[in-house]
Amino acid sequence: MQMGVNKRPRRRRTLAELRRGEQAVLERLDLPEDTARRLMELGFLPGQMVAAAGSAPGGDPRVFRVDGSEVALRKETARHLQVRFSD
């Protein structure tokens, strides 16, 4: 995985910023190991395409489509999942 110096920092975002219908590639899970593992078992693996779907009123928690499943995450968790928009 190459990250290096990011020329366009605007392109690196977190899952929490994804709006309904948008999708991005998961890069990194900045979470304690147990939580990260639990998320990875649900499909949130680096390199996977994640798409934002519906949410509770107000946008939190939001449903994400990943690896054939739909999983709801609170913003406070989604904020720790770094994503990269595919071109």
Name the site residues for another protein (rule: CB under 8 A): 31, 34-35, 37-43, 45-46, 53-58, 60-61, 63, 65, 67-74, 76-77
Q: What is the DSSP string of 20-74?
A: TT-EEEEEEE-S-HHHHHHHHHTT--TT-EEEEEEESTTS-SEEEEETTEEEEE-
Give min distance, CB of 18 to another protein, in A.
Answer: 15
Give min distance, CB of 9 to another protein, in A.
Answer: 26
Give min distance, CB of 66 to another protein, in A.
Answer: 9
Reading the block at residue 5, the tokens are: 């110096």
